[in-house]
Amino acid sequence: MHDYGPVDTSGILDGAVLMHRQMSDLLTARPGTVPHDIVRGAAGLGAPADDDVVYAGNGPYAYLYHLWREQQGGGHRIVREVHTTFWSGYWTQEELCAPLHRPGDTVLFPSEFTRQVFLRCFPSVRPCDAVVAYPMLDTMPRVAPVAAPHRDSVLRIGYLGALSTAKNFEQVLNVFARCHRESNGRATLVFAGKPNDPRWRTPEVVARLAGQGVPAGSVTSLGLIGPERLADFFSRIDVLLFPSTASRESLGRVVFEALAHGVPVIAAGMGPAVELLPERNLVPATPFTGVPFSMDRIGPLGQVDEDELTARLLTRDWEPATMPDTSAFEEPAFFRALAGTPGSTWQPTAYDRATVERVRVEPRRGVDPATALKGVEELFGHYFRKDHQPLLAMIAAHEESTGTARPDLRQIVARSQRSLADYRAFPRLVDALVMPPLSYRLSPDDRTAPGSPGAVITALDDKEVSHA
């Protein structure tokens, strides 16, 4: 069973949405797949048999499937996903699933990095129930590696992804400007993606670079591009930069897209890229240690060494594009996980163990999971049935208790569109009205397990923050 049909994804098309679509296509093409409508609640599932599998592949809502199984007395397995590393949507999902998780239920992760973070922080999930399975390579090309240009030739630098601070896009611009200057103009930049701030719009980016001596002719912006334009994008560049240390980063789909098109990638030596690229293609990154991050915000967890990255580019110091062990990213691994027979668990040669061991998230205090789960189920029903009055009453009560107006929440309720693909809207209501998001830190000392007695992590208040 699966629910992620054709919905309006205009303006919210990202790696997670692309993966939801791809998994939906894989499932609906096979016999025995029964679609359901999650917004109908438990009734939308019918009565699964004990040997059925319910695949919760439609966003961070798997706790509802676990709750409905308890209510109906079912014996079926549930397979759920975690698509972001540090975000209140999937973190809340796992907190609410924890007391209802049964041996044999499976959690799918895009990377070993994300898998290890959740295994350390959610002991309710056994390692054998946590599987890296992210089928994406079967539909990608396999292009021969492109050769690095000579040091005296023009270097075509590329960037693909959200134009955001979380992805360290500003560092891309800084490094490119230095390469252009230090190579006497023998460097160009081609970038594509959606700006999440006015300063990353094309005119502003071109003007910013012009102020650093880069002529407009050396900069090309392709805007927001879809999968059908990837081949064109990668034909325009010699190397792709992936300096992202974004808190929600769980894989970096663009890394595989570049490698599939034969383009080498230089990435931050932090997060999931560590398990995808050779060490020579990783640039040291300094984590922001000791400072609190919020689970409802996206931001960088560190920054790359710009001196090192500039030097790598100027000297063409990188390995050509080569795929790592791809077994976890192909369809058979996904279907083995659904069947409950994952076989040999994919193990990368390396992963970012240091960041995993730095994470400090104290268990949420003062929240009863059963009460919270009931509250979230009620909120979900009101939201997708468009019962505006109960939602507005809850928001009014929240505003009165906090003394803070929340027009942003009222705007979410007032929208006529209710799309599962917009997987940030409903979690924002949950963050404010049921389970305020936690904070977390990266400890300067990576030798102590997360959630240790010495960790000082407190839940944040409900004050709204901007979302990327």
Please give the C-alpha separations between residue 209 and each of 98, 133, 177, 189, 216, in angstroms, as whole numbers.
49, 40, 7, 10, 8
Question: Which of 52-61, 300-309, 350-359 comes out lowest in average pLDDT?
Answer: 52-61
More confident residue, 37 or 259: 259
Question: Which residue, 323, 347, 382, sits at the end of a domain?
Answer: 323
Report yes or no on 311 lying in a domain.
yes
- The pTM assigned to this predicted structure is 0.91
More confident residue, 349 or 82: 82
Report yes or no on 464 lying in a domain.
no
Residues 295 and 160 in one domain: yes
Report yes or no on 451 lying in a domain.
no
Place of tokens 């079912």: 74
Residues 93 and 235 in one domain: no
Cβ-based neighbours of 158, under 8 Å, separated by 6 or more: 189, 190, 191, 233, 234, 236, 237, 238, 239, 240, 241, 258, 263
State the pLDDT confidence band at 452, using cuts at 50, 70 and 90. very low
pLDDT of residue 226: 85
Average pLDDT over all residues of the chain: 89
Residues 316 and 243 in one domain: yes
pLDDT of residue 231: 96
Domain count, the chain: 3
pLDDT of residue 26: 87
State the DSSP code for 327.
G
pLDDT of residue 369: 87
Question: Which of 191-195, 304-308, 362-366, 369-373 comes out lowest in average pLDDT?
Answer: 362-366
Residues 27 and 128 in one domain: yes
Give residue-wise pLDDT tens across range 383-404: 999 999 999 999 999 999 999 9
Report yes or no on 305 lying in a domain.
yes
Q: Within 13 A of 221's CA, how many CA atoms are on the CB side? A: 18
pLDDT of residue 457: 28
Q: Give the Cα separation of 268 and 241 in Å (integer).
A: 9
Residues 209 and 288 in one domain: yes
State the pLDDT confidence band at 126, using cuts at 50, 70 and 90. very high
Cβ-based neighbours of 397, under 8 Å, separated by 6 or more: none
Q: Give the Cα separation of 292 and 270 in Å (integer).
A: 18
More confident residue, 31 or 301: 301
Question: Which of 32-46, 370-384, 443-457 comes out lowest in average pLDDT?
Answer: 443-457
Residues 386 and 296 in one domain: no
Residues 258 and 226 in one domain: yes
pLDDT of residue 19: 78
Report yes or no on 147 lying in a domain.
no
Assign 187 to helix, strand or coil: strand
Residues 383 and 416 in one domain: yes
Other CB atoms within 10 A of residue 425 CB: 20
Q: Give the Cα separation of 184 and 42 in Å (integer).
A: 64
State the pLDDT confidence band at 10, using cuts at 50, 70 and 90. low
Tell me the mean pLDDT in the region 125-129: 93
Residues 351 and 401 in one domain: no
Question: Which of 34-48, 55-69, 115-129, 429-443 comes out lowest in average pLDDT?
Answer: 34-48
User: What are the contacts of 178-182 at 24+ separation with CB within 8 A?
Assistant: 178/306, 178/310, 179/155, 179/310, 179/313, 179/314, 180/212, 180/213, 180/214, 180/218, 181/212, 181/213, 181/214, 182/310, 182/314
pLDDT of residue 36: 84
Would you say 172 and 192 are in contact if contact means Cβ atoms under 8 Å apart?
no
Place of tokens 């689970």: 295
Would you say 297 and 276 are in contact if contact means Cβ atoms under 8 Å apart?
no
Q: Give the Cα separation of 111 and 129 in Å (integer).
A: 14
Please give the C-alpha separations between residue 137 and each of 111, 126, 141, 329, 335, in angstroms, as whole numbers.
14, 27, 8, 6, 14
Other CB atoms within 10 A of residue 140 CB: 17
Report yes or no on 31 lying in a domain.
yes
Assign 459 to helix, strand or coil: strand
User: Which ranges of 99-184 does DSSP label H, i.e. alpha helix?
Assistant: 112-121, 169-182
Which tokens go with 10?
């205009």
Cβ-based neighbours of 18, under 8 Å, separated by 6 or more: 227, 253
Q: What percent of the chain has pLDDT above 70? A: 91
Element (DSSP H or E) covering residue 159:
strand 155-160
Report yes or no on 468 lying in a domain.
no
Residues 316 and 419 in one domain: no
Tell me the mean pLDDT in the region 42-66: 91
Give residue-wise pLDDT tens across range 296-346: 999 999 999 999 999 999 999 999 999 988 999 999 999 999 999 876 677
**Domain that residue 314 falls in:** 155-323
Helices and strands counted in the chain (H then E): 15, 15
What's the length of the chain? 468
pLDDT reading at 166 higher than 80: yes
> What is the per-residue DSSP string for 267-295?
EESSSGGGGTS-GGGEE-EEE--SS-EET
Question: Which of 12-16, 165-169, 353-357, 378-382 comes out lowest in average pLDDT?
Answer: 12-16
Q: What percent of the chain has pLDDT above 90? A: 75
| CATH number (domain holding residue 318) | 3.40.50.2000
Report yes or no on 448 lying in a domain.
no
State the DSSP code for 246.
B
More confident residue, 460 or 417: 417
Residues 115 and 255 in one domain: no
Q: Give the Cα separation of 130 and 117 in Å (integer).
A: 11
Give residue-wise pLDDT tens across range 222-244: 999 988 999 999 999 999 999 99
Give residue-wise pLDDT tens across range 401-432: 999 999 999 999 999 888 777 778 899 999 99
Going by DSSP bridges, is the β-strand pair 285-287/302-304 parallel, antiparallel, or unpaired?
Answer: antiparallel
pLDDT of residue 468: 28
Question: Which residue, 323, 350, 382, sits at the end of a domain?
Answer: 323
Tell me the mean pLDDT in the region 131-157: 94
State the pLDDT confidence band at 447, using cuts at 50, 70 and 90. low
pLDDT of residue 76: 95
Q: Give strand pairing partners of 188.
A: 156
Residues 86 and 160 in one domain: no
State the pLDDT confidence band at 24, using cuts at 50, 70 and 90. confident
pLDDT of residue 227: 86
pLDDT reading at 6 higher than 80: no
